[in-house]
């Protein structure tokens, strides 16, 4: 396994391609590096200079006076493979390649060259990051090999020295955005441990970097900007590891839209993939999605300071000296899914005794500006925080002056440190730099945006609940080995499409339906089968060449008499032949009509990257008009299945909202879990499974699968 | 009409209650005022001081050496009414009251005192703003009577001197938020003409202020924060005036949630009212709703600089040197409702000739950082702007250094000034102050948030389209005077509830349904009526005491034979009596069954503030589960009706999305327009109208009103 530690804390560094002119990118890197007191040696490697920016330069990596862990490479693309080879031979353990012109280029040459880099990296077991990256910064060891202006001529220390924990790492394919996280977060006095930009990810990808940083245990929150997931297994392993460690991943994934996908493909050669699948994967691992840099940075701030005491619920107390600000925040909290309850009587009595008649203790607690000063901001926040009605507090302020907080520094620090509930601060005015510093030293997160503040609290609460579930979730057992091999054998021997009559028995091995499928090869056989069924029957053509049976006119429902069945059989055969004269028709399925129920659809589709993804939706118009569907990777358990259903906008329909009996959600959940296990065990063989429609009957009466289809993966 | 001009540009000002100590609010106001070179005299009025902060003070408003237009009042609440009276007598034309302790207090006393202020204001025709306000700033005349720290010790001029137009006014009930707009916007070099905080709005409300400012014609964009609308007529008049003048109103309304409503009620005594009605009112007048201060300020920035050339459509070209930033912005634009099309071949050819192989011209145009420098940022933006494929351009930048723009100042200025398409700039890093200033002088709006940038462009495009429609919309003619008086007479003579058989003929006068209602008073009458109808019939009880007929078991559908009709009649009567033994039963309505159609509901409800509001929704589960309804004030025309339908999430159902014939949307639209006219003409008499369900038949086959009910307003 390549050693990313050699990247982030090397013994010494070579800068291959270093140039004297700091206006050029090749010169800038060294120029920036030299501004930071990295303890190891920095060796410029240059063919044309004996000295670069005051440092002795060497003609080749092989000529250095010591073996270096890390090489930074910024030379023309065509020289990169040979140079990487040379690094490998010289015992270099990590290489960050900044050079562009690989897989992001039009044509195959760049992609081939990139593949070459990957092979060399593997051969020498080197941690190769890039190409097409913007470098990185490892703040603790003061190593900043990047041409990003962010670490050039800094006016503040790399990290606020009073922050001993709650460090944040930014990991991004895009150099601009990766360093922008730091650029936005540093003025908020947030402690960044690392900024790593991974570019095209020829070898090491962002999740490799995160895994290494989790193992270092010097970072508590991750900000990530990604264009694709290069290695799904690494993603899964690292996402799970992060959740187990309680270190939140706050992520933006580009390529939600066609244009965004185009952009990602063109500039780091990423195949963006289906965004709904990504969302399902994020949800599975409690990954938090952000929509803009400030939102992501402010969310990281909340976790950075209060990750150790996340709120136990969604109830928030709001303390304000501005009535307008209080109302606005109350609305914002509600929109973001938080609750703003009226405070308990005991707390209100305590507060009412201290505020004027034109203030209010109900929540938002509007102390009025004067009373806030008199009672003390820390005291008022503390009174609300101690209320049994709330899980967290938002304090509203105008952070124009540090003195507001400096005057109460001891009390506010106590409030921030000795608490089991987080206290977040929102300033409705532009905070002064000194006020930002003051609150950071005190230990309270200062938000500049009301939405970000409320959303952060919501996500903190969700994260806590998610993690508790995640840690106690039992391992999911899929099919027994006997079941697995029996189904595998059936799938092996099947043709590429399994019609309903073929799919049913296979699915039944996982408890999906009863497996019954009565096929008729003649009208008389149909009549005979129907005679053995008490209810009215449905007839459906069975042909791998006719997947849209209704469209083909090859389904007839609700048949009650032998004559009707006979006529229906003949009509179906005629329609099917008319629809597709060369169709291979296996026969006609005769089934009892399912009793009424809430129509749903269930399906499994194969995602190129992440494998089988289960889909569930409310049937008919809900799917077609409202796209009301939810996705999940497989397998999953009953709790997950319930939460998946809760994602549906029309979920209330299952609860009998119109006065009907509630539907048999337990049976639906069992079906979903069974299907998820089937998909997990046989995903490789399967391109698609459709159970459409599934009818969910009233509670206690189960579900009926009214149609089923399996399409095998092309082998 | 009180003269708000006397507030914003008075000859001279008295400060009633001025105190020497500038740490007290009473001293702060004068202290702040004196920092700004207002041309008129400032007279402290104080009972206890002969001189205040170096200015000669006067014991009473009556003792001043000249009549003053404006008095600022900050004295204890109990003295305010008398003092206001004294101002009236002294010929003061405008008074801003900062004192708290009026209607926002618990109990009636404050509300009564506030009513007193209103009466005094009316008696003297004074423009009284407040009480419980934070003052105002009139930047051009350098008058800043406020204790807000925003105008205290300012480090920049009140307004950037190079901004000659595109001024922004902030009007807010909340002082904190009103001045926060300025506080957030001034560092972005935005020109604010006025900040006015209106507090409890005892007399003058925010829309009065806006109307006055529109008439002054020195302001192009309005930012507004409100807790309620005090006077609906003023709101309507001013909202329309603003749209006609092309001056956008960007508004946040507090009280969307229960907690927000509570907050508004407690601190400026606002009755927040139904948020869905507010949204309908905002939509009617093209008012733009904002969610946070930065978003609102950044939207105002877009209009401030490019209000004169709003985009003709939603197609945006993105120019970036950061691939990651480009992808992110492309996604953001798509999420915000913009289109990011691939550029036309001609434009691409021009660009491709100038960028390296690892750049891309497709859109986002990723010129790469190097190429952007070489071609010139202005040139590259211009190339994309000139593409026939786009209506606007977003340029992505890292605004860390002013030199990036200063080096191209002439070209960028030309780009900004000589354009028919707006060009917006987003910086993914924190902009440097000098860069902000540079771009402001150049005339390009610099956004710090990707969402705000994309949303601003979207709203600019929407605003243009809305205004074009608004200006050319024909006046809506409601019922003729004969129709009006006939319906009025019918409503006058009706009881409080008009059952279906009574409502139908009244509604029919406005073309709503055919008015037919055949009532049976006996089973035989029902049979006779049914005999004259070709189709199956429905029977429904008619009683003002049984509004939920189905629940009462007093509806029977789809009756085909005389026997069935007779039995149904008897069942209905029995069920109705069982349901409510004292119900006044008028008879049983016999109707042909409506043919199948898309189920909708239409209704009208009386809003306390804004009068009748029409509601339309997709029937059944759509309303009940998904709350898929849309609201509009009345009357409206066919275009508005169509747009109202487009607001429904399930609107596609009407277009025949499942392969069915499209529904008769024209007939539905006619029905909606008719109902809106009915409601407009007779709103005062009506509490509620329900047409539920309405069945919309396939195109060309009209609509059926399957049930109708009118509830009169309590007179």
pLDDT in tens, A142-189: 999 999 999 999 999 999 999 999 999 999 999 999 999 999 999 999
**Distance, CA of A395 to CA of A392 (rounded, Å):** 10
Query: Omega into A546 within 30° of 0, i.e. cis?
Result: no
Q: Using alpha carbons, select from B192, B413, B585, B331 the residue that is nearest to residue A252.
A: B331
Verify whether the Cβ–Cβ distance B330 to A262 is below 8 Å. Answer: yes
Q: Does residue B109 have a pLDDT over 70?
A: yes
> pLDDT tens, A246-262?
999 999 999 888 887 77
- Minimal C-alpha gap between B322 and chain A (Å): 6
Across the range B491-512, mean pLDDT stands at 96
Whether B653 and chain A come into contact, CB under 8 Å, resolves to: yes
The pLDDT of residue A207 is: 98
With an 8 Å Cβ cutoff, is B1 touching chain A? no
Decide: residue B137, CB within 10 A, 0-12 exposed, 13-18 middle, 19+ buried.
Answer: buried
Between B294, B330, B626, which is nearest A259 by CB? Answer: B330
- For the residues A279-283, what does the mean pLDDT come to? 96
Angle of helix B293-306 relative to helix B450-472, nearest 10 degrees? 60
Which of 3.90.226.30, 3.40.50.360, 3.40.50.300, 3.40.50.261 is the CATH number of A314-454?
3.40.50.261
Cβ-nearest to B263 among A110, A326, A625: A326
- Residue A323 sits at the chain B interface (C-beta within 8 Å): yes
Render pLDDT for B651-678 as a digit per residue (tens, 0 to 9): 888 988 767 789 999 999 999 999 999 9
Can you tell me the distance from the alpha carbon of A482 to that of B419, in angstroms, rounded to the nearest whole number? 72
The answer, yes or no, to whether residue B99 has pLDDT greater than 50, is yes
Neighbouring-strand partners of residue B44 = B15
Average pLDDT over residues A101-124: 92
**Which chain B residues are Cβ-neighbours of A657 within 8 angstroms?**
621, 624-625
Q: What confidence tier does A266 reach under pLDDT thresholds 50, 70, 90?
A: low
Structure tokens at B287: 């008012």
**Residue B382 carries which DSSP code?**
H
Q: Is the pLDDT of residue A429 over 80?
A: yes
Sheet holding B94-97, edge to edge: B42-45, B13-16, B70-73, B94-97, B127-129
What is the pTM for the complete model shown?
Answer: 0.95
Which chain A residue shows the shortest CA-CA distance from B429?
A180
Residue B267 has pLDDT above 70, yes or no: no
Of A106, A327, A362, the CB nearest to B254: A327
Mean of pLDDT values over A328-341? 96
pLDDT digits (tens, 9 = 90+) for A46-64: 999 999 999 999 999 999 9
If you average pLDDT over residues A419-425, what whole number do you get?
Answer: 97
CA distance A528 to chain B (A): 35
A563 pLDDT higher than 60: yes
pLDDT above 60 (res A271): no
A361-408: pLDDT as tens digits: 999 998 777 777 788 999 999 999 999 999 999 999 999 999 999 999
Residue A608: per-residue pLDDT: 86
Which member of B106, B180, B259 has the closest CB to residue A357? B106
Interface touch A358/B101, C-beta < 8 Å = yes
CATH architecture of the domain with range B1-133: 3-Layer(aba) Sandwich (3.40)
CATH match of B156-308 with 3.40.50.620: no
Residues in CB range of A564: below 8 A, 6 or more apart: none
**Across the interface, do B326 and A626 touch by the CB < 8 Å criterion?**
no
Asked if the Cβ–Cβ distance from A104 to B358 is below 8 Å, we say yes
Over pLDDT 70: what percentage of chain A? 98
Provide the 10 A C-beta neighbour count for residue A79: 14
B499 and B586 Cβ atoms separated by less than 8 Å: yes
Rounded mean pLDDT, B52-75: 97
Q: What is the pLDDT of residue B105?
A: 80
Residue B697, pLDDT above cutoff 90: yes
CB spacing of A322 vs B175 below 8 angstroms: yes
Question: To the nearest whole angstrom, how far is the Cα of B331 from the nearest Cα of chain A?
Answer: 5
How far out from the chain centre does Cα A220 lie? 17
> What is the DSSP secondary-structure string of B4-33?
THHHHS-S-EEEET--S-TTSHHHHHHHHH
Which residue among A106, A258, A650 sits closest to B625, beta carbon to beta carbon?
A650
Partners of residue A630 on adjacent β-strands = A616
In contact, A445 and A405? CB cutoff 8 Å: no
The answer to whether the Cα torsion of A491, A494, A497, A501 is positive or negative is negative
pLDDT of residue A575: 95
DSSP bridge partners of B315: B339
- B327 lies within 8 A of chain A by CB: yes
Instruction: Please classify residue B76 by burial: count the beta carbons closer than 10 Å to its beta carbon, then call 0-12 exposed, 13-18 middle and 19+ buried.
Output: exposed
User: Which residues, numbered 432 to 461 in chain A, qualify as contacts with chain B under a Cβ-Cβ cut-off of 8 Å?
Assistant: 448-451
Residues of A in contact with B279 (CB under 8 A): none
Q: In 3D, which of A180, A138, A122 has the Cα closest to residue A10?
A: A138
Q: Is A39 on the interface with B (CB under 8 A)?
A: no
More confident residue, B371 or A114: A114
Pairing of strands B288-289, B316-320: unpaired
Residue B528: what are its φ and ψ, rounded to 5°? -65, -45
Give the pLDDT score at B269.
54
Give B228 to chain A, closest Cα distance, Å: 12
CATH number for B517-593 (one of 3.40.640.10, 3.30.470.20, 3.40.50.300, 3.30.1490.20): it is 3.30.1490.20
If phi over 0 gives left and psi between -120 and 50 gives alpha, with beta otherwise, what is residue B465? alpha
Q: Which among B519, B463, B510, B466 is positioned nearest to B484, based on CA atoms?
A: B510
Token pair for B291: 């969610």
Q: In chain B, what percentage of residues exceed pLDDT 90?
A: 86
Same fold, B156-308 and B314-454: yes
B536 three-class SS: coil
A175 touches chain B (CB under 8 A): yes
Torsion sign over Cα B531, B535, B541, B544 = negative
* DSSP SS3 for B449: coil
Q: How far is A386 from chain B (nearest CA, A)?
A: 20
At B258 the pLDDT is 81
- Give the whole-number percent of chain A exceeding pLDDT 90: 86
Query: By the CB < 8 Å criterion, does B322 face chain A?
Result: yes
From B357's Cα to the closest Cα of chain A, the distance in A is 6
Q: B625 CB near a chain A CB, below 8 Å?
A: yes
Strands (E), A331-391: 365-366
Q: Decide: B299 and B250 in contact? Cβ < 8 Å.
A: yes
Distances (CA, A) of B512 to A45, B56, B665, B682: 86, 72, 15, 14
In a mutational test of the A interface, the residue from B78, B146, B331, B627 whose CB has the highest number of chain A CBs within 10 Å is B331
- A333 phi and psi, to 5 degrees? -60, -45
Span B548-570, average pLDDT? 93
Confidence (pLDDT) at B272: 47
ipTM for the whole complex: 0.94
List, in order, residues 6 or more apart from B483 with CB less than 8 Å away.
Answer: B509, B510, B681
Greatest pairwise CA separation for chain B in angstroms: 99
Model pLDDT, residue B265 = 67
CA distance A362 to B93: 38
In chain A, where the domains are located: 1-133, 156-308, 314-454, 474-513+596-715, 517-593
Residue B197: strand pairing partners: B172
Provide the 10 A C-beta neighbour count for residue A525: 16
**For residue B449, what is the nearest residue in chain A, using CA coordinates?**
A292
pLDDT at residue A270, rounded to an integer? 55
User: Quick check: B255 contacting A, CB < 8 Å?
Assistant: yes
CA dihedral B670, B671, B674, B679 (to 10 degrees): -140
CA distance A519 to A525: 8
Q: Decide if A323 and B104 are in contact by the 8 Å CB cutoff.
A: yes
> Are the C-beta atoms of A88 and A125 separated by less than 8 Å?
no
Does the pLDDT of residue A613 top 90, yes or no? Answer: yes
- CB contact residues (below 8 A), chain A span 55-74, against chain B: none
Q: Which of A254, A324, A458 would best serve as a mutation to test chain B binding (most B beta carbons within 10 A)? A: A324
Share above pLDDT 70 across residues of chain B, in percent, rounded to a whole number = 98
CATH of domain A474-513+596-715: 3.30.470.20
Query: What DSSP character marks residue A393?
Result: E
The nearest alpha carbon in chain A to B315 belongs to: A259
Element (H, E) at B613: strand B611-618
Q: How far apart are CA A176 and CA A150, in angstroms?
A: 10
> Model confidence over B300-327: pLDDT tens digits?
999 999 999 999 999 999 999 888 999 9
CA proximity to A207, closest of A183, A239, A176: A239
The CA distances from residue A66 to A17, A61, A62, A143, A658, in Å, are 18, 10, 9, 18, 78
Contact A254 B327 (CB under 8 A): yes
The pLDDT, as a whole number, for residue A273 is 57
* DSSP-derived 3-state class of residue A709: strand
| Of residues B199, B165, B170, the one with CA closest to residue B185 | B170
| Residue of chain B with shortest Cα separation from A25 | B370
Contact call for A364 and B263, based on CB within 8 A: yes
To the nearest whole Å, the CA of B202 is away from the closest chain A CA by: 16
CA distances from residue A49 to A17, A46, A66, B222, B442 in whole angstroms, order as listed: 10, 6, 19, 61, 42
Q: Specify the DSSP element, H or E, that contains B446.
A: strand B446-447
Q: Is residue B271 scored above 70 in pLDDT?
A: no
């Amino acid at each position: 396994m390549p050693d990313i530690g050699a990247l982030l804390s090397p013994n010494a560094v070579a800068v291959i391609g270093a140039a004297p002119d700091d206006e050029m990118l090749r010169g800038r890197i060294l120029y920036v590096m030299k501004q930071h007191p990295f303890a190891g040696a920095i060796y410029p490697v240059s063919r044309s200079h004996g000295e670069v920016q005051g440092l002795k330069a060497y003609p080749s990596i092989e000529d250095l006076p010591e073996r270096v862990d890390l090489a930074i490479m910024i030379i023309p693309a065509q020289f990169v493979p040979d140079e990487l080879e040379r690094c490998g031979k010289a015992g270099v353990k990590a290489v960050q390649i900044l050079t562009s012109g690989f897989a992001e280029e039009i044509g195959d040459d760049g992609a081939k060259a990139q593949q070459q880099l990957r092979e060399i990296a593997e051969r020498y077991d080197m941690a190769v990051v890039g190409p097409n990256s913007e470098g990185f910064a490892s703040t603790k060891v003061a190593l900043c090999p990047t041409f990003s202006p962010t670490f050039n001529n800094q006016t503040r220390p790399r990290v606020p020295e009073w922050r001993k924990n709650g460090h944040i790492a930014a990991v991004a394919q895009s150099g601009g955005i990766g360093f922008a996280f730091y650029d936005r977060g540093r003025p908020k006095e947030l402690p960044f441990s690392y900024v790593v930009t991974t570019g095209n990810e020829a070898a090491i990808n962002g999740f490799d970097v995160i895994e290494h940083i989790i193992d270092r245990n010097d970072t508590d929150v991750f900000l990530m900007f990604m264009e694709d997931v290069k290695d799904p297994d690494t993603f899964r392993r690292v996402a799970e590891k992060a959740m187990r460690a309680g270190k939140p991943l706050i992520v933006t994934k580009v390529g939600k839209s066609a244009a965004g996908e185009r952009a990602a493909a063109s500039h780091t050669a990423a195949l963006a993939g289906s965004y709904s699948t990504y969302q399902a994967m994020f949800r599975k691992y409690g990954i938090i999605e952000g929509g803009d840099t400030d939102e992501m940075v402010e969310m990281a701030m909340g976790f950075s300071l209060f990750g150790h005491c996340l709120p136990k619920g969604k109830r928030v107390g709001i303390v304000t000296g501005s009535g307008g600000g209080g109302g606005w925040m109350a609305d914002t909290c509600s929109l973001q899914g938080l609750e703003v309850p009226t405070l308990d009587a005991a707390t209100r009595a305590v507060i009412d005794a201290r505020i004027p008649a034109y203030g209010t203790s109900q929540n938002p607690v509007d102390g009025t500006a004067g009373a806030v000063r008199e009672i003390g901001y820390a005291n008022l926040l503390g009174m609300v925080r101690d209320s049994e009605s709330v899980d967290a507090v938002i304090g509203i302020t105008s952070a124009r002056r540090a003195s507001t907080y400096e005057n109460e520094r001891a009390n506010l620090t106590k409030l921030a440190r000795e608490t089991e509930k987080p206290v977040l601060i929102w300033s409705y005015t532009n905070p002064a730099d000194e006020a930002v510093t003051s609150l950071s030293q005190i230990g309270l997160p200062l938000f500049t945006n009301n939405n970000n503040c409320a959303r952060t609290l919501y996500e903190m609460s969700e994260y806590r609940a998610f993690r508790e579930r995640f840690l106690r979730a039992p391992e999911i057992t899929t099919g027994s080995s006997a079941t697995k091999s029996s189904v595998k054998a059936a799938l092996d021997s099947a043709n590429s499409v399994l019609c309903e009559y073929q799919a049913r028995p296979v699915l039944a091995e996982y408890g999906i339906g009863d497996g019954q499928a009565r096929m008729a090869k003649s009208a008389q056989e149909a009549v005979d089968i129907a005679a053995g069924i008490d209810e009215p029957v449905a007839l459906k053509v069975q042909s791998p060449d006719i997947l849209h049976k209704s469209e083909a006119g090859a389904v007839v429902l609700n048949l009650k008499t032998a004559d009707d069945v006979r006529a229906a059989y003949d009509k179906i055969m005629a329609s099917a032949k008319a629809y597709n004269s060369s169709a291979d028709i296996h026969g006609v399925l005769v089934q009892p009509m399912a009793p009424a129920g809430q129509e749903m659809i269930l399906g499994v589709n194969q995602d190129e990257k992440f494998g089988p993804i289960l889909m569930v939706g409310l049937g008919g118009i809900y799917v077609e008009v409202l796209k009301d569907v939810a996705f999940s990777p497989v397998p999953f358990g009953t709790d997950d299945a319930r939460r998946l259903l809760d994602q549906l906008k029309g979920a209330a329909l299952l609860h009998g909202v119109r006065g009907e009996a509630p539907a048999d959600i337990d049976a639906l959940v069992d079906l979903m879990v069974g299907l998820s296990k089937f998909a997990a065990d046989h995903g490789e063989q399967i391109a698609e499974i459709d159970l459409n429609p599934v009818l969910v009957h009233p509670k206690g009466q189960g579900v009926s699968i009214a149609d089923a289809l399996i399409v095998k993966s092309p082998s």
